[in-house]
Copies of this chain bind each other. A is one copy, B any other.
Amino acid sequence: MEKIKIPKATAKRLPLYYRYLIILNEEGKEKVSSTELSEAVQVDSASIRRDFSYFGALGKRGYGYDVKSLLSFFKKILNQDTLTNVALVGVGNLGRALLNYNFKRSNNIRISCAFDINQDITGRILSGVPVYDMSELKQQLSDQQISIAILTVPSEQAQATANQMFEAGIKGVMNFTPIRISAPSTVRVQNVDLATELQTLIYFLESDEAAKESNEE
């Protein structure tokens, strides 16, 4: 349906725009300018206009963008009109936290099943989500037509578990383990590496500090 080629950087910002549009709409705002949006999402206003323009002329010159129509447009683009079910693989500390995380409110995403090998929790329902044994992965994913999974197992089991997931037909993985898992080319992996991000932050702070000191000299 969509034949438009969207730059990667733009695609990453779309959900961000979408969320702010929801907020604006709830506040009852009818129009919004790229400058206003720019302040809220902290993206240059020209970039916002260009991002939008990939989808056509969505705004009106001298006026701005109509919140409601922009919202409903992005709702379609981002497949927010239908609920997306995802699976959670690995119900440890982080997994449990994600079970309680409300992806649904502004994103229409729902964790509809979870998997683990711990007999103490399999067969139970945690935070409203049934937890199955890993042996049921293939069957459940197929039954529920789920192709996206969140991976939150210990690093040592990351690759082996991922392989099972690919076997079971998973096409997209949000990988919370620090391991860069290798995957078939048909599968997309998004890495969320908490320790690395924190360490990068620290590194930048140190170099900020160093730069400041050398300026003072």
Interface residue ranges, A against B (CB under 8 Å): 1-3, 6, 11-12, 14-16, 18-19, 40-42, 77-79, 84, 86, 93-94, 96-98, 100-101, 103, 106-107, 109, 147-148, 150, 171-172, 174, 178, 180, 182, 188, 190, 192-208, 210, 214
Taking CB as reference atom, which chain B residue is nearest A80? B199
Residues of B with C-beta under 8 A to A19: 178, 195-196
Whether A6 and B207, one on each chain, are in contact in the complex, defined by CB atoms closer than 8 angstroms, is yes
Residues of B with C-beta under 8 A to A18: 199
Residues of B with C-beta under 8 A to A147: 205
Known interface pairs A93-B97, A101-B194, A210-B2; A78-B203 also in contact (CB < 8 Å): yes
A contact patch SS: helix
Whether B101 and A11, one on each chain, are in contact in the complex, defined by CB atoms closer than 8 angstroms, is no
Residues of B with C-beta under 8 A to A77: 203
The 3 closest A-B pairs by CB, nearest first: A97-B97, A15-B199, A93-B100
What is the CB-to-nearest-CB distance from A43 to chain B, in angstroms, rounded to a whole number?
Answer: 9
Residues of B with C-beta under 8 A to A200: 11-12, 14-15, 190
What is the CB-to-nearest-CB distance from A36 to chain B, in angstroms, rounded to a whole number?
Answer: 13
Known interface pairs A19-B178, A192-B194, A195-B109; A202-B97 also in contact (CB < 8 Å): no
Taking CB as reference atom, which chain B residue is nearest A20? B180
Residues of B with C-beta under 8 A to A171: 205, 208
